[in-house]
Amino acid sequence: MQLAIKHQELIESIYDAGLNPGLWSDVVVMLNGFFGSRACGLISKDKVSKSGATHYYCGVDPHFIQLYADEYAQHDPLARLPRYGEVRNIPDLVNFDEYRRGRFYQEWLRPQGSADVANVVLDQANSSCPILLTVIPGREMLDAKMRARMQLVVPHASRALMINRAIEQKQQRAMALADVVDRLSAGVILLDAACNIVHSNPAAVAILKTDDVLRSVNGRLLARTPDANAALRNVFRDEAEVVAAAAAGRSIQLTASDGSHHIAHVIALPSLLREGIAGRAGGAIGALFVWKAQLDARACTGLIDRTFGLTPAELRVLQCIIEVGGVPETAAALGIAETTVKTHLHRVFAKTGVSRQAELVKLAAGFSNPLVH
């Protein structure tokens, strides 16, 4: 009964370490006690170079850990790794008499007063550098009891390490995504349900520093005009509203003191971004992408050209319509007949799927949106 309780506590601790890798050092100590071994550790072993790295251990002098990494890993008979989940000691893999005459035993294991080592591969995938559970029984060889206890913990330790790896990969992706957000030219402001600023990228910090179109008051985001402020509060009152606003493509119009306009586009956050802006995004329910409303005709028409396959003549007419106005103005600016302008314009309408000049300008404005770029 006591062994069952001890085993259950050990398994719980292994899964705790799966969620918090900092607990593995304590778990290795518990494993050593459960096995009744002299030493225990988690190591990684490169299949090609045979080099080894010890990640967590107990029961071994740090001097010998360093010696193993520097020199004796390549002489370790257990460098010939067994298949996943198979507990193997030295006699399972090599001639024991030859092993006792070798450098690994004579210069590394024997000086520690030990005779045998047991390994089990914990990586289910065919990794080039798998994680192993390594046990040094002591002066005696690995016995059936210790082997059975090692075998008991293999599936649990294996799953816990898989959890570690999955969490680490998610954190790495989140950090990479955070880096992308911080490099955007548009301002990105992550907000909670009270419009408190959870995170601002450098472009957003620059906008807030002007203390004009948007400002931070005790960490809370405020818009300059009452209407924009009310719209901001309405959208960010809960996550469901943010999702609905984002799905509808809703934006908040912002006006600066000089009369210029900014657009604040509502974005629903994916869980990866919501949870992982380098630990800064806790509580965020959505984001604003903020940029100054200005139409870069040359940039947006170039994008439209590549998207819809416009001819050079159609592209010139489109650009002129955006920059100077209607058909008569475009004809005069390009030095061509109004009928020619209308012919090219109708072809542009057909290719882009719009039917009026106002819609064409609106389309171009969308292509100048930094979110599209």
pLDDT at 27: 94
Alpha-helix runs per DSSP H in 42-131: 62-70, 90-93, 96-101, 103
Determine the average pLDDT of the residues in 132-160: 92
Q: What stretches of 227-330 adopt beta strand conformation (E)?
A: 251-255, 261-267, 286-292
Q: Which of 119-128, 230-239, 346-355 has the highest mean pLDDT?
A: 230-239
Do 130 and 122 contact (CB within 8 A), yes or no? Answer: yes
pLDDT of residue 372: 46
Give the model's confidence band at 281: pLDDT under 50 very low, under 70 low, under 90 confident, else very high.
very low
pLDDT band at 2 (very low <50, low <70, confident <90, very high): very low
Q: How far is CA 77 from the centre of its chain?
A: 38
Residue that is written with structure tokens 């893999």 in the block: 93
Q: What is the mean pLDDT of the chain?
A: 83
Residue 240 pLDDT greater than 70, yes or no: yes
**What tokens were used for 222?**
């405020």
- Domain spanning 297-367 has what CATH number? 1.10.10.10
pLDDT confidence tier of residue 373, bands split at 50, 70 and 90: very low
State the CB neighbour count (10 A cutoff) for residue 252. Answer: 22
Nearest to 190, CA basis, from 272, 294, 293, 292 = 272
Residue 142 scores a pLDDT above 80: yes
More confident call, 297 vs 154: 154
Element (H, E) at 166: helix 144-183
pLDDT grade, residue 41 (50/70/90)? very high
For domain 186-292, which CATH number applies: 3.30.2010, 3.40.1350, 3.30.450, 3.40.630? 3.30.450
- What confidence score (pLDDT) does residue 1 get? 45
Q: Residues with Cβ < 8 Å from 75, sequence gap 6 or more?
A: 102, 103, 104, 108
For CATH 3.30.450.80, the residue range(s) in the chain are: 2-171
pTM (predicted TM-score)? 0.54
CB burial of 65-101 (b: ≥16 within 10 Å; e: otherwise) equals: beebeeebbebbbbbebeebeebbbbebbeebeebee
| Numbered ranges of CATH 1.10.10.10 in the chain | 297-367
Q: Which residue has the higher pLDDT, 265 or 182?
A: 265
Mean pLDDT throughout 30-40? Answer: 93
Residue 17 pLDDT: 92
Residue 254 has pLDDT above 90, yes or no: no
For the chain, what is the largest distance between any 2 Cα atoms, rounded to a whole number of angstroms? Answer: 100
CATH topology (fold) of 2-171: Beta-Lactamase (3.30.450)
- 3-state secondary structure string across 217-234: ECCEEEECCHHHHHHHHH
pLDDT exceeds 60 at position 273: no
